[in-house]
Amino acid sequence: MLFEQWLASQSQPLLLEGGAYGHLSHPFEDLSLTMQDVKDMIDSTVKGAFGPENFVQEKVDGQNLMISWKDGRLIAARNKQHLKNAGENALTQQGVADLFAGRGDIETAYNAAMTDLAASIGSLSEGDKLAMFDNGRKFASVEVITPVTQNTVPYGQSMLVFHGVVEYDETGSPIGEDKQAAREIGKMVSNANAAAQKTFYVRGPVDISVMPFPDTKKREAYYNSKLKQIMKESGTTLNSTIGDYVLGSAINIIEREAKQAGVTLSPASIEGLAMRIGGINKSYSVPNIKRDLGADAQWFIDLEKNREKELKREVYAPLEGLFLEVGTEMMRNISAFLAANPTSAAEEMKREIESAIKTIRTNGDQIDVQKLEAEMLRVASAGGLESIVPTEGITFMYKGKPYKYTGIFAPLHQIRSILAYKK
């Protein structure tokens, strides 16, 4: 089987790097997780069973900056070259100013952030700076939050929030992340009376106390029932992986599309085509497709060319929708967010999104409207616009890996981006 061959070739699970390494995955993006893992993760969320070891924290919607302390001064990194050899070629404060010169509010925000970070980190003892940054070998990931550079969530205050410290080798590759260090830096800065700076308040991450959902047993049964239906439709069991789910769901779609087109496919061809539209890989190459499908090959080539993104969304939609709903309900059950006035912030987000929806439906082109309607389906899966909470989401650790719940934020951000890209 092509999928089994691909799975055996993987030296580690297919998971895009999380935390400060780069992209932080939703659980449904990790093809190595089993459906039992999915069930356990959702059950733990519903029961409020996450503890301190899960590092449940608010995911912040700002601009990211990687900083360290080397040879008595603050340095920053924007790419791998800056991280090499313990930050040997990292950006100084002037380097950051030059990089963002002429960028308006972004320039102002980053310059102010570097000034305030230099003051707050500079106030720590030499021992603390060495422990946290190892003279440029460790970089802290900082989120820059200010109303003038607001993305989707209106926080109503200017903050610099630490959310991880990453150690890099001489080539600039990450070799470890310390989530606890973000808490420790926040405490050090606070203890040094250096949190309140000229522009920003400097702090550690917001740790979230996860509470059981109201009507816990009822909600647990509800989500377990939805998961069972997803497994039934994709032909998977609790021992199956999310990769198996993706393949099973994609096979269903390929068989449907082939039947509608009057195309007959062999089992091997079905699996190879399903791996392509499911985004697993494209090892079943176009020359091989032409060889095996003959005159019918053009049917799939056109299908993939015209509807690849649409079909991949359909593959993931049931499992993604389940996690969107769980994540949104979890966040509605939490009150300790960074937004200065959570109720006001949620109302502002709702007004802005409703305005964006109206504008796209009135003035958008066909592609924009199609994108909007696809995102509105995701909004509905997450509970509708009434489920808006003023946060980008929640990050947590599960079996040593970092994941995120973004709930309704994910589709709202995409809707907002439809207009932003037109400017």
**How many CB atoms lie under 10 A from the CB of residue 147?**
13
Residues 311 and 307: their CA atoms lie apart, in Å, by 6
Tell me the whole-structure pTM to 2 decimals: 0.68
The residue that leads in pLDDT, 342 or 160, is 160
- How far is 93 from 90, CA to CA, in rounded Å? 10
Q: Which of 269-273, 345-349, 409-413 reaches the highest mean pLDDT?
A: 269-273
Give the lowest-confidence range in 16-25, 29-38, 172-181, 230-239.
16-25
- Which long-range contacts does 7-12 make (Cβ < 8 Å, 24+ apart)? 7/243
Q: Which residue has the higher pLDDT, 14 or 315?
A: 315
In this predicted model, what pLDDT tens digit does every residue of 155-173 receive, in sequence order? 456 888 898 899 999 999 9
Average pLDDT, rounded, for the chain: 83
160 beta partners? 144, 202
According to the model, what pLDDT value does residue 152 have? 42
Residue 146: alpha-carbon gap to chain centroid: 21
- For the residues 398-423, what does the mean pLDDT come to? 73
pLDDT for the residue 77? 94
CB-count exposure of residue 125 (10 Å: 0-12, 13-18, 19+): exposed
175 phi and psi, to 5 degrees?
Answer: -125, 0
Comparing C-alpha atoms, which of 256, 226, 183 is closest to residue 273? 256
Query: Residue 420: pLDDT band by 50, 70, 90 thresholds?
Result: low
Residues 280 and 71: their CA atoms lie apart, in Å, by 45
State residue 366's pLDDT score: 80
| CA 206 and chain centroid, separation | 17
Q: What is the pLDDT of residues 46-78, one digit of tens each?
A: 998 887 778 887 776 678 889 999 999 999 998
Tell me how far apart the alpha carbons of residues 31 and 280 are, in angstroms, rounded to a whole number: 9
Give pLDDT tens digits for 97-136.
Answer: 999 999 888 888 899 999 999 999 999 999 999 999 999 9
CA proximity to 402, closest of 108, 19, 1, 14: 19
Which two tokens mark 211?
A: 């509470």
**Helices 286-293 and 267-277 meet at what angle, rounded to 10?**
150
Does residue 312 contact residue 275 with C-beta atoms inside 8 Å? no
- Residue 19 pLDDT exceeds 60: no
The whole-number pLDDT of residue 183 equals: 87
Can you give the pLDDT at residue 84?
Answer: 93
Distance in angstroms (rounded) separating the CA atoms of residues 69 and 139: 8
Torsion sign over Cα 418, 97, 24, 217? negative
Decide if 236 contacts 263 (C-beta within 8 A).
no
Query: Which residue, 50, 6, 59, is CA-closest to 32?
Result: 6
